[in-house]
């Protein structure tokens, strides 16, 4: 079988890259093992336009926001699903200092932050002493719907091999790449945390960290907002179900859920929520974050037919469609990749591979 592109991984990056190549009528095959515990499959899909305790604008927000809703809406229309929903974030202040910090940012004309008009609006559902602000526009991307729908579409079009990719089975030549019965022109790794062990990309400055999340059932909690107080609560597609998380663990012995997270988060939820809740599921995964908090996009400087789309960290829902479109443009028309994301910035490191 001959194809132009071989894509490893059908998480968020692999989905968007294959989607744009499909829209450009290019041939490709995706290899994915459909593992349920990957970072894309347990992420909440929250797009938050501000970041950190200082509430500063997220990187590239002004470039990303205009196209974000349009991109996901187009994908949703093609798959006949709801791919994105606009939902402001209700940010409950944990203390008077964060309340004042939020107020100061509003006075500085941060147009994504808004003071609450009714400080008692959520007292039926939550315990909170210091009021709340609103962050918006924000979005939830329905990964729990998008990834299976695109998986199904790929299968119907014979573009998916649902199996483990075995790196030693890959043969790289100057003008072609072979893997089992596939002959391809280029291979692109969109395989999340696994890329940190890839012989061609292991020198990139990954900063993997472990995150854990709950799926919880909260009957009656309004679903038109995302809620935040130490952790996020985001509504899922299924009625009464919410995503709750997440943490960041830099030192970990395995990728399994921990009792420590369960006990701590269950206590947080009990203190925060006034309404009953039930823990339905508890998952953990590794995030493919990077030291610079910038993605890895482009082709290997010494192996021009081997590429990567990775390192989106916690901003994958906003960054993946943008940089997948850039990479597809580069692969098809040699269009430029943003210098802050292009792996050419690590040419000296990568040439050691």
Q: What is the pLDDT of residues 81-99, one digit of tens each?
A: 999 999 999 999 999 999 9
User: How confident is the prediction for the chain on average, in pLDDT?
Assistant: 93
**Number of structural domains the chain divides into:** 2
**Angstrom distance (rounded) from CA 98 to CA 56:** 13
In a domain, 154, yes or no: yes
pLDDT of residue 353: 65
* Residue numbers of the domain that contains 245: 84-139+207-286
* Sheet hosting strand 209-217, strand order edge to edge: 113-115, 132-135, 89-92, 226-228, 232-235, 241-245, 209-217, 278-287
d(CA 229, CA 337) in angstroms, rounded, equals: 37
Whichever domain contains 21, its CATH number is 3.50.50.60
Q: Are residues 212 and 322 in the same domain?
A: no
- What's the pLDDT tens digit per position in 104-116? 999 988 889 999 8
The answer to whether residue 166 scores a pLDDT higher than 70 is: yes
Residues 122 and 214 in one domain: yes
The domain that holds 262 is classified in CATH as 3.30.9.10
Quote the pLDDT of residue 54.
82
- Please report whether residue 12 resides in a domain: yes
Asked whether 50 and 226 are in contact (CB, 8 A), the reply is: no
What is the percent of the chain where pLDDT is above 90?
A: 81
Nearest by Cα to 72 from 26, 31, 19: 19
Task: Give 6-37 pLDDT, tens digit per residue.
Answer: 999 999 999 999 999 999 999 999 999 988 77
Tell me, yes or no, whether 23 and 154 share the same domain. Answer: yes
For residue 347, which of 302, 296, 295, 304 has the smallest C-alpha distance? Answer: 302
C-alpha count within 13 angstroms, C-beta hemisphere, residue 24: 21
Residue 261, pLDDT above cutoff 90: yes
Whether residue 71 lies inside any domain: the answer is no
> Per residue in 212-250, pLDDT tens?
999 999 999 999 999 999 999 999 888 999 999 888 898
* Residue 320 backbone phi and psi in degrees, to 5: -60, -50
Separation CA 221–CA 255 (nearest Å): 31
| Reduced 3-state DSSP string for 243-293 | EEECCCECCCCCCCCCHHHHHHHHHHHHHHECCCCEEEEEEEEEECCECCC
Query: CB of 298 within 8 A of CB of 337?
Result: yes
199-220 CB burial, b ≥16 within 10 A, e <16: ebbebbebebbbbbbbbbbbee
The answer to whether residue 134 scores a pLDDT higher than 70 is yes
Assess whether pLDDT exceeds 80 at residue 319.
yes
Residue 59 lies in a domain: no
Model confidence at 314, pLDDT cuts 50, 70, 90, reads: confident
CA distances for 51 relative to 59, 254, 345, angstroms:
9, 28, 25
277 within a domain of the structure (yes/no) = yes
H/E stretch holding 85: strand 84-86
Q: Are residues 220 and 277 in the same domain?
A: yes
Domain assignment present for residue 320? The answer is yes
Q: Say yes or no: 220 and 134 in one domain.
A: yes
């Amino acid at each position: 079988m001959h194809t132009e592109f071989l894509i490893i991984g059908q998480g968020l990056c692999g989905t968007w890259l294959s989607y744009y190549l499909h829209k450009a009528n290019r041939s490709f095959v995706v290899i994915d093992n459909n593992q349920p515990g990957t970072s894309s499959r347990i992420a909440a899909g929250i797009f938050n336009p501000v970041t950190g305790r200082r509430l500063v604008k997220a990187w590239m927000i002004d470039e990303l926001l205009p196209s974000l809703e349009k991109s996901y809406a187009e994908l949703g229309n093609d798959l006949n699903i709801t791919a994105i929903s606009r939902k402001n974030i209700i940010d409950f202040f944990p203390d008077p200092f964060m309340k004042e910090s939020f107020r100061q940012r509003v006075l500085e004309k941060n147009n994504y932050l808004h003071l609450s008009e009714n400080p008692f609006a959520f007292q039926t559902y939550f315990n909170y002493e210091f009021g709340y602000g609103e962050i918006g526009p924000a979005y939830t991307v329905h990964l729990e719907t998008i990834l299976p729908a695109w998986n199904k579409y790929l299968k119907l079009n014979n573009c998916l091999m649902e199996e483990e990719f075995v790196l030693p089975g890959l043969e790289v030549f100057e003008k072609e790449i072979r893997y089992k019965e596939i002959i391809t022109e280029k291979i692109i790794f969109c395989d999340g945390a696994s890329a940190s062990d890839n012989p061609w990309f292991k020198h990139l400055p990954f900063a993997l960290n472990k995150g854990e999340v709950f799926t919880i059932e909260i009957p009656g909690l309004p679903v038109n907002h995302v809620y935040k107080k130490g952790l996020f609560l985001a509504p899922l597609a299924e009625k009464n179900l919410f995503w709750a998380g997440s943490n960041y663990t830099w030192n970990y012995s395995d990728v399994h859920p921990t009792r420590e997270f369960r006990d701590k988060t269950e206590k947080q939820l009990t203190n925060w929520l006034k309404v009953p809740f039930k823990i339905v599921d508890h998952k953990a995964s590794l995030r493919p974050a990077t030291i610079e908090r910038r993605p890895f996009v482009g082709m290997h400087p010494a192996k021009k037919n081997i590429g990567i789309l990775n390192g989106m960290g916690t901003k994958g829902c906003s960054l993946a469609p943008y940089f997948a479109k850039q990479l597809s443009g580069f692969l098809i028309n040699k269009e430029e990749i943003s210098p802050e994301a292009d792996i050419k910035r690590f040419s000296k490191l990568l040439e050691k591979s």
